[in-house]
Structure 1
């Protein structure tokens, strides 16, 4: 894999599209200062996903866009395309050539493309991470980068090494997975808290649901009661409607009968009226006759008055002779008197006839009026009587139907009352039975609550224990990895490049039995001091004897293999400090090491007369007091009679490295042992956690089951209580309704008895009839007269 080309457009100083083509091998970009050489490296860094503006030598990310010059306007975007040859399939993508494009606009928006297809920054980073290149830029060494790497701390160097080894990608993935796990653990804990809280809220919510169900049951019972009342009212209205229809039919029949009778009476009245009209005509004729006779009587009266006057005149003494004959006049007077008498007699007879006719007329008129009045009264009485009889008969029938309907309703209510009483007793018995179970379940619920709380508390403790052990295990693993990395790094320092290395590789089996650094054990904390005293011998090899040492040196000279220090294994053990006591804080160097028996003489000879103190001041004081001694400090200073060796930039000996490796291995073993113990404890804690989880789930299941049972019992209890109350209410309503019906029936029976008595009396009363024939005869006689 190698870079094929780099195309820049609008990136920093590259305003126009510029393509740089690369070939396998080394490509050099040369040019004067300010020509844009570093911008090429920045472009490589930027297109591979760099997000830090300072790394790109800018203040903000928008600074990578061409800002314009005096002769050219600024651009609105920057675009860099990197083409990589992937013919060796180094990149995990099925293309022999991969183009990565990054584009950025002035508004801060950015785009990424792989082979022309839009993608995410993460996709670019994932693609490049397996190839050893990417935004971490360990393959891009910029200005000052080398000095920064050389002067960096071991931790920083480790980051570079991990990135170069490809560990960083997996570490970041692991960190991302750990963050997801931590987030999931937090969510799980939150979910557990919510579950616990919701479970605690279930009971009051269950009670509210029970109350809602009871209210719904009450509403249903209320609707049922209203419907039953409406049905009862409808039945009563239907019964009353049927009774009214029957009464109406009977009244219609009676109305038809009365109408027929009224028509007959009207016909009879017409006959009477015609008779009265005939009599009226006769009365008028008689009246006219009376008028004629009255006029005649008046004339006769006038004639009589005239005759009387004349008679008076005749009786008077005549003064003058009239010339007539007195006898004639007397005869005329007699004739007139006789005529007067006749007229008076006739007048008297006419007067008597007239008086008789008047009397007859008045009598006939009175008889006709009486007859008409009697006829009308009889007709009204008959009509009233028949109407009253029909009304009474209808009322009697209606009342009988009402009484019978009331009897049926009372019988039906009595049956329903018996059924309701049985339901009341059954409901009360079931309610008492279920109520007894409620107390038992409530007692069990309290125990289950305590058990669940204990289980949850134990689970929480187990979770905390597992989390603590997991954290400790991760820390131990991290520490073990760090120690192993340190051991590996220190082991590299033990790889010899001098004559000792040549002897180990080519002369190792001819009288040599190992490296002094590996054979000698130094008390922790004194490695630097002992290595300083041993000097080159700290890096030496151990030879069996003087002959083996001589052969090894000859082999080095012959092969030009370099120089090497050798300790003789057969060297006699010299005397040490001969009981000399050091001041406080000082120790003999020979007492700080553990040496194999074969090297004891050589090492003792090297460390004989050497003391170790804490610092240079103490060393100088001790040498001034005892010039025959050599004194080393724990910081690597060495003081003798008249000379001092010390300072910084001291070469680290293989003995120190071996001691560090040994120390690290000891610590690694401790950490691994601790990790093993933590793993075993974690396994036990997880088993305990699983057991606690099962116990908590079982307790929760039992509690939920108990809650469900209690809710069911409460629901059943509410339903049974409502049924008992409904049954009792229905029983009381039916009793009240029966009492009202019985009272109404008694009242109806009394009214029926009264109506039957009235009907019987009315039917026994004789009907008044008018003798129309006699009246007609009387009217006829009056008319004829």
Structure 2
């Protein structure tokens, strides 16, 4: 694996696209100062993920973009592409070539790509980490970094080894795990606090939920009883209605019968009235016919008299022809007499005609009056029927009004009573609110004082609790670490055999502060020994030892005593049961300040052992050091003791304040309960008062509405009664018909007689005149003809008279029959009217008789409808089904008692939080959920601790292996670079390889100094190179890039460096930026960088290992091409 090519565009001084093809082995990059050589190094660092602008020699990341020159404008972006050869498969991806690119824009946007696909920086770092190239880029050594390596802290030097060993990813995993662990610790604390709060809430909520459940059950029972009570009341009402139905039906039947009879009589009254009218009309027709017959008879009689007289005259004329003269005189006298008589008759006729005309007018007036009265009677009959219907409606309305008014009176009385009671209750509640408000004022003041005190204490308690939690958390962490450290075969064995074993030896003995490591070294592996009081118990448990050491308490004094030396036993304290065993184990062990002192003392006393404070024991044939874990366990125990002491102090300081806070909280709770009770009382009273106010307003409105309705009903009833009073006289009597008018028959006959007399006189006068004239010119033949004609006229007049007499007789009979019919019709009408009045009186009596029953029935029907509506709307039950489900024992009285009992039980419950059940379920569910979450968090915390422990073990193992290899390579390389010299790497904390730093000891040949600061510049550079190349040898990387690392070396040291470099050329890729020709000579490829006139960098390449071309010739060629055209750019053109 090596770098295949580098493509640069717009990066620093490389404005144009520049491509460098690389090859394995050593390659050098040369060029004048300021030409851009180091920009190539920066480009590789940048594309591999460098994030520090200062590491790229800039102020901000955008400074890597070409800034422009007098000849070239600035660019808007910079892009670098690096192609890595992965044919060896070192990076575990299915690609033989991996292209990594990075671009940045002046807008601040940037992107990474792998194989052309946009990725994250983390993806690039993880990909490179697989090949041993970490974020620190230890394979790229820039100018001045060699001295930085030596001046760094030991912990910083460790990073180079860790990066080369690939530990960075494990560190990342550990950091992520520790962040998760810290988050879990916070979650754990929060969960514990929340669970404690939820537990505190659950008990009262459970009680409230039980009360709410009981209230719900009683309410359901009350609703069920209420529904059954409503059904029982409906059944009672239905039974009452059934019981009264017989009487109601009988009354309805009797009233129906009377009504039907009255309706029939109404029709009969109308019929007889019509019949009488027809009879009157027939009588009038018959009288007219009779009058005409009489007139015809009178005319016939006059004609007959005239014919007789004419015949007599003509006969007399014929007989008296002989006495013609005398006859003429006689005729003259007769004519005068007849004229006088005619004048008298005409005068009398005129007078009689006037009288007849007046009589006819009176007769027609009487007929018109009778017709009008008849029409009035017919109208009144029709109106009487309508009035009777109206009266029936009015009576029903009045009856309904009386019922409704009685009900409204009852409602108004009830409303008035309720309003009076509500007024009294309002006054009482107002007084109650004032009293409770006066009681709560001092309680609230006291609670405020306590609240202020509690808040002051709460801050202190919070601080102490935070300290307590911090110490507790610290103790948990220390306990977990101690458990991890002390997880030994002995501890595991002791966990299962605590009955007879008394403990681990290391736990039964303690050393003075600072001597824990010495005690651990003195005990050695016996610190993990399981101590028994009796040997038989140890023998019995031995088969299950599984690698554990079993020790038996007991022992003896030291074998010998060295005068003037302190024994290890003098600074330890042991459990009484294990004191003898401790003496046996630690006897003959003495104390020393240093290892050298211990060795010297042991040389003088070879049978004794000496141990230092740091835990190094020098004894017979052994030098024993203390495991870092042993001393670390002792340190953790000391720290645990300090933490326990801090916990005890925090607990001691916290307890009285918590007790005071609890006391205040109890007092506040008591006050709050009293205030809450008072507030609840005030709230209840206020709510009740509010309801009362609303009820009073409603009652006032209802009273006003009822009063208005009563007034309206009374007005309507008064109007109905007036109309009824006005209608009753109309319906009692019909007007009597006036007497039937008699026609003026006598006047008519008299006038007719006078008319006939006048006609007769006129005829006689005419005859006399004719006769007189005839006598004057008498012709005997004519007289005979006149006699014959007069006889014929007489015969015709007789026949006409006979006909008129027959017609008169017939008309008289018809007139008499019509008069009889009219009298009969009048009598029938009077009879029917009497029957109608009797039927109307009977119907009114029945109506009054059953009016109360109708009112009771209407009230009962209304109550039944109300009960059915209550069941449907109030209880969502069908009335028939609800009544059918009742048993015989479900009486109204028994159900009312049960309802009263349930209501009393509900009242005994007092105030109930009806939402408590849901709240309790929510809190319980949340508590259970959080409890499970707490278990999961604890398990996750244990798992994370285990993960961290495994990661630390892996880091320790990996680092230990890498450190050992790097230390060995450093010693070898140092000897190559400094013949006769000695150099080594020293772990600052060998017992803690997880966190130890690395110190460098270097002693060049012929020098005794080991301090790095006393070395020369060249020696420091070679020492740093030895450290870096030791890392490169121990944990090789794909490539190495060095920027002018050898300027401080003289020829000898440069020769040693180049020799070392040649050793890497065979199996590694090394890129070196240099000005040294000797360095150029070891390269197989040379790149020359020059700065053009336009202020941009250009690159030329030349292979130096081509056959037939001397190396020096190739070098000179490149130098000539790079150095000769180069010009010194203006200051503002230099990037």
TM-score (norm 2): 0.33
TM-score of the pair, normalised by structure 1: 0.44
